[in-house]
């Protein structure tokens, strides 16, 4: 019985330890990194807040065209002392002292309701259309901020992977050069080596040690850059094991330029800002128009003139107002609005040039990255073969220590360049879609499907 109790206790304790034991944190992927960044990005929150402000401003502009209803009420305590009433109107029909003096304290009050409905308000209509354009520009700004954030996260994420790969190459190079240095020292000890080879190997090893320190520092900086976007500590990241280079589809720049003109949110935002500026010019000019309002009111007043007198009054009517002379203010406002609209148009022209240049550059970079990555993959394979052959030749005495060190240096350079080209190719894919204005979370998910967990 006691043995069974001990066995059960052991099982419970083991289960408790398994539950409470710290589990290794899962590696972070690109899609999760973007979601973290999107949830905490000040840039994205600012764009959304400005959009809310534009929507509120539109409601304010629309309110100028809707009925305005106001109500008021008052109650007061009065001390009336009225005498001599009727003396100025004395006549045979109205004898003197027909009206007595009033000396009374009493409560009085009034209330009123008033309705104003604009009928002709040209300036307000133009202001509403301008507000519509600002809202559309705000929506485009949010999309632009989302796409910008994707690019920033992708650059930071693959920047960490590239820095980690560079640190790995530097670590491997240091280990390899340590082996060559030890072999050079051993050869010198047995009389088959020379001091020059030993010194050269020592110099290369020291340089590799310095490179490794710099690589670790670069990796830490890259992690901090990603952390500044996700606002979370950066641990392990999923990586790309194999990658098939993909060029732009379609493989012609003109369709990408046309797509950018239609979908680039920065251009859409600038166009809507230009529309808003044109509406502001229209609104400034329509200040000269007459304004017409429908007015309706009802009011009640008691005790204003005499304690017992009640006055009820209702009215319906039209009011028209026309500015005749404003000291030149209207003309000045129109001139200012036109100048601002012209500035916005020039800004749009400049932005269009930048977008076209950005698309052409991103298109060329992606095409170049495909050729570079394929060439570097072949170069890496050749360098690994060349280094292995050189090392075997060194072991049989056909190659010198200097030859091995040179081959090792070439292999390190090719490896570093290959990893850089691999991650730059992925970033080039992202940047072309960003330049064309069609970058979306689905593209992040597609790249995320290429990532796997690598164990080092």
User: What are the beta bridge partners of residue 104?
Assistant: 80
Residue 171 counted as domain residue: yes
Residue 106 covered by a domain: no
State yes or no: pLDDT of 24 exceeds 80: no
SS3 of the chain: helix, strand, coil, percent, to 5: 65, 15, 20
Tell me the percentage of the chain whose pLDDT exceeds 70.
90
Q: Per the omega criterion (within 30 degrees of 0), is the bond before 338 cis? A: no
Asked whether residue 43 is assigned to any structural domain, the reply reads yes
Report if residue 42 sits inside a domain: yes
Residue 309 vs residue 134, higher pLDDT: 134
Residues 355, 264 contacting (CB under 8 angstroms): yes
Which residue has 């529309």 as its token pair?
275
Q: By CB neighbour count within 10 A (0-12 exposed, 13-18 middle, 19+ buried), where does 377 fall? A: middle
| pLDDT tens-place string over residues 203-232 | 988 999 999 999 999 999 999 999 999 999
Average pLDDT over residues 350-360: 96
Burial per residue of 401-438, b for 16 or more beta-carbon CB atoms within 10 angstroms, e otherwise: bbebbbbbbbbbebbbebbbbbbbbbbbbbbbbbbbbb
Residue 412 lies in a domain: yes
- SS3 at position 118: strand
Query: For residue 351, with 0-12 CB atoms within 10 Å meaning exposed, 13-18 middle and 19 or more buried, which class applies?
Result: middle
HEC letters along 350-381 = HHHHHHHHHHHHHHHHHHHHHHHHHHHHHHHH
Is residue 18, in this structure, part of any structural domain at all?
no
Question: What domain count does the chain have?
Answer: 1
Question: Is the pLDDT reported for residue 352 higher than 60?
Answer: yes
Q: Is residue 117 part of a domain?
A: no
Query: Model-level pTM?
Result: 0.83
- Domain membership of residue 315 (yes or no) is no
Indicate if the pLDDT at residue 87 is higher than 70.
Answer: no
| Domain that residue 53 falls in | 27-78+122-288+331-452
- Report pLDDT digits (tens) over 134-186: 999 999 999 999 999 999 999 999 999 999 999 999 999 999 889 888 888 88
Question: Can you give the pLDDT at residue 180?
Answer: 86
CATH classification of the domain holding 35: 1.20.1600.10
């Amino acid at each position: 019985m006691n043995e069974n109790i001990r066995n059960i206790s052991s099982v419970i304790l083991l289960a408790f330890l398994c539950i409470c034991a710290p589990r290794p944190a899962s590696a972070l992927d690109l899609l999760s990194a973007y979601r973290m960044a999107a949830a905490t990005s000040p840039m994205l929150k600012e764009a959304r807040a400005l959009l809310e402000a534009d929507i509120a401003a539109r409601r304010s502009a629309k309110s100028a065209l809707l009925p305005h209803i106001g109500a008021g009420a008052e109650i007061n305590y009065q001390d009336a002392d009225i005498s001599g009433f009727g003396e100025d109107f004395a006549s045979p029909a109205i004898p003197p002292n027909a009206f007595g003096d009033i000396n009374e304290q009493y409560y009085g009050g009034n209330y009123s309701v008033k309705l104003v409905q604009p009928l002709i308000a040209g300036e307000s209509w133009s202001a509403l259309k301008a507000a519509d354009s600002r809202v559309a520009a705000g929506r485009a700004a949010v999309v632009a901020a989302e796409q910008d954030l994707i690019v920033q996260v992708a650059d930071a994420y693959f920047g960490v992977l590239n820095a980690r790969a560079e640190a790995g190459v530097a670590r491997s190079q240091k280990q390899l050069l340590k082996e060559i240095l030890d072999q050079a020292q051993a050869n010198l000890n047995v009389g088959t080596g020379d001091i020059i080879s030993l010194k050269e190997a020592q110099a290369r090893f020291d340089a590799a040690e310095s490179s490794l320190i710099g690589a670790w520092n670069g990796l830490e900086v890259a992690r901090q850059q990603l952390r500044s976007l996700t606002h979370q500590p950066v641990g392990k990241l999923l990586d790309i094991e194999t990658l098939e280079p993909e060029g732009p589809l379609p493989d012609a720049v003109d369709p990408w330029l046309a797509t950018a003109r239609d979908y680039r949110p920065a251009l859409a935002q600038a166009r809507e800002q230009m529309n808003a500026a044109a509406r502001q010019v229209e609104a400034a000019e329509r200040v000269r128009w007459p304004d017409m309002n429908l007015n309706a009111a009802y009011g009640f007043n008691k005790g204003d003139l005499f304690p017992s007198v009640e006055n009820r009054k209702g009215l319906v009517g039209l009011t028209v107002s026309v500015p005749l002379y404003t000291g030149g203010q209207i003309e000045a406002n129109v001139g200012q609005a036109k100048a601002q609209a012209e500035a916005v148009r020039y800004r749009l022209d400049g932005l269009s040039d930048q977008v076209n240049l950005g698309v052409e550059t991103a298109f060329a970079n992606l095409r170049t990255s495909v050729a570079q990555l394929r060439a570097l993959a072949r170069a890496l394979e050749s360098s690994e073969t060349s280094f292995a052959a050189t090392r075997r030749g060194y072991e049989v005495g056909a190659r010198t220590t200097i030859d091995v060190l040179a081959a090792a240096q070439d292999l390190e350079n090719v490896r570093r360049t290959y990893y850089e080209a691999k991650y730059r190719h992925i970033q080039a894919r992202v940047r072309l879609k960003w330049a064309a204005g069609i970058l979306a979370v689905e593209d992040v998910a597609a790249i995320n499907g290429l990532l796997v967990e690598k164990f080092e």
